[in-house]
Amino acid sequence: MIGGTTVESGGVWRRMRDQLIARDHLQGVMFQAMSFTDYGVSPDNLNTFWRQESFHDRFDDLDAPVFIDSGGFKLMNSNTFGAAPTEGGAENDWGIYTNPESILGLQMDFGADIIATLDYPIPPKLNEEEKVERMERSIDSAVECLKLLEDPSRMDEESLLNESARQRLLDRDSDDELPGVYIALHGHDYETVNWYVANFLDRVESERVTQSFEGFAIGSLVPLRSSVDVLVDIVQGARDAIPNRVSDEIGLHVFGVGGKQVGLLSLLGADSFDCSSHMQTAMYKKYLVPDTWEHVKLDDLEPHLENGEFPCTLENCPLCGPDGVAGYETLLEELSKDRPRKETLEARDRGELIKSDYYAMLARHNFEVYNAELTKVREAISEGTLLEYVSQFARDHPDIKKGLKQAQVRDKQLRRDLEARNAHDLLVGPERKSDQTQLSNWDAGVEGTEARSISLKYGPNSFNILAQSYEPPEDTDVLLLIPCSQEKPYGDSRTHSVLMDKLGPRRERVHKVTISGMYGPVPEEKEWEDPVMGYEYVLADEDDAQREFITERLEKYLEEYGDRYDHVLGYVASTNYRDVIEDAIDAY
């Protein structure tokens, strides 16, 4: 929804938005409340432009509900949006803080029809103590959000900048004028999710919170899209914790998952889904093949073409449908062009299609495949044939079959229903071990989590090479500065290992020093220290103070040790880390 400073800016995201926003088959919009930080929006522009009108007011053609998530992941990875000054934190230019009041005000200003409560996500391999602590903070936040909606007079006036949003909240005649609320929910297995739901419901009852909520929204699931059995376990944990007397009144949303898993998860009680995979895969020039659900690179798509045409018959698809404006060869050619920026802008001003338009069409195709699957599932639900639909789908897709079998471990009625339909090929065995593998690890396939436990309590002073008794290796004459990676130790990451391999025999001369967004310079000999292995932080666009901090640390490292090297080099693509390295080298 916000792809830049105005509604006219935003590249491929804006073009995708404009293609879909007026379509009748658009079911809804999921917007992440803090995503504007990725698109060059300044604090002044946010507060004087984007927060002054709701999305429904700003986009005349928008006739679908807008569900606004709290942006917990963005807040977790940024040190700019900390506690409010009244809570002991520091003031920031955005006027946005990590508390329920501030985030609710932002969601209301954007004109949310549905909101998710402020949550504290659980990254893979987080230690047990912090995992429980973050879940409890998420529950506290959810209860406080309901209390704020119940009694808006508790909100600080500065939390709302949009006058119509303020009126909607403060002068409402009934709860119908408030956004529907979904309680953000986290947990990596059945038991934990079940505990979370039960504890939240106990809190609401014990504190006599009367403000209604629509349901639960399960987060921290993006790494699980390929671990369908774990998804099944978590969804069942949430659904089973909801008391029968209210089970039909409480919805269940699944964050970040919405593809071929939709039918199976709907069968287990999930009601709504969202994901951005259609865009993420399109940015890598990948085409989602209907029926097989393969994401195939355009260069490798020829075997899937039918008489040179895309293998898609969806009428709403702007790429493959009857009104498609680009065939396979055209799309391949346009996405391979490398026009100068000036030429691209001139073409855009003449009303011609540019590369962003073609990326948006590819993303739109991927989206339509997802949307078509949702339509099939809704039709099966309305016709009472969802189990039959999922059964056939599972026979064609082994991962869904594995998930369906996993579901029967806890859901005996599901097994009986399949047995009554003679679906013996889909039944789990009498003993799980004989017919069903153990659950996948929650973090299976999540890069960089296999050998470490992380903590979100590490801060910039948890590691400081300048405070240690340290001497660089004497047998190197080249200092190579490169950015940190999510995977730890850094040297095991794909970026670092490929670069070191490319250096070949020159590697012996090179002393690699990684620039951590948290700690500044980390010499390669120190990569295995606990604070380096255990932190989780990426330098964000808005973290100006942190950028200055690590630039200063790198400058001091160069002042201390720079004359020991014959060459000082930086190799970096990320703008934030590039600025750090350039500024430090310039100062040195």
> Are residues 365 and 319 in contact, defined by beta-carbon separation less than 8 angstroms?
yes
**Among 144, 241, 138, which residue's Cα sits nearest to residue 186?**
138
Mean pLDDT of 538-547: 88
Indicate whether 534 pLDDT > 70.
yes
Measure the CA–CA gap between 358 and 325, rounded to whole angstroms. Answer: 10
Kindly report the CA angle at 543 between 542 and 548, in degrees rounded to 5?
A: 130
Mean pLDDT of 491-502: 92
The one-letter amino acid at 345: L
Measure the CA–CA gap between 78 and 222, rounded to whole angstroms. Answer: 19
Please report the pLDDT score of residue 440 as a whole number: 55
148's CB contacts (< 8 A; 6+ apart) are 100, 101, 104, 154, 155
What is the rounded radius of gyration, in angstroms, for the C-alpha atoms of the chain?
Answer: 26
Please report the pLDDT score of residue 448 as a whole number: 36
Measure the CA–CA gap between 588 and 580, rounded to whole angstroms. Answer: 12
Mean pLDDT of 547-566: 96
Measure the CA–CA gap between 146 and 213, rounded to whole angstroms. Answer: 8
Higher pLDDT, 291 or 481: 481
Confidence at 123, pLDDT banded by 50, 70, 90: confident
Task: List, for residues 36-93, the tens digit of each pLDDT value.
Answer: 998 889 999 999 999 999 999 999 889 999 999 999 888 888 889 988 888 888 899 9
Indicate whether 132 pLDDT > 60.
yes
Indicate whether 375 pLDDT > 70.
yes
Higher pLDDT, 324 or 349: 349
What is the 3-class SS of 537-585, one letter each residue? CCCCCCCHHHHHHHHHHHHHHHHHHHHHCCEEEECCCCHHHHHHHHHHH
Indicate whether 436 pLDDT > 50.
no
Task: List, for residues 154-197, the tens digit of each pLDDT value.
Answer: 888 788 999 888 888 877 766 677 899 999 998 888 898 999 99
Please report the pLDDT score of residue 430 as a whole number: 64
The one-letter amino acid at 468: Q
Task: List, for residues 260-308, the tens digit of each pLDDT value.
Answer: 999 999 999 999 999 889 999 999 999 999 989 999 999 999 999 988 8
Indicate whether 114 pLDDT > 90.
yes
Mean pLDDT of 374-403: 96
Burial of residue 478 (number of CB atoms within 10 Å: 0-12, 13-18, 19+):
middle
Indicate whether 482 pLDDT > 50.
yes
Higher pLDDT, 187 or 535: 535
Indicate whether 444 pLDDT > 50.
no
Mean pLDDT of 529-558: 92
Please report the pLDDT score of residue 174 as a whole number: 66
Indicate whether 226 pLDDT > 90.
no
Q: Tell me how far CA of residue 166 lies from CA of 152, 157, 389, in angstroms.
A: 10, 9, 46
Mean pLDDT, all residues of the chain:
89
Please report the pLDDT score of residue 512 as a whole number: 97
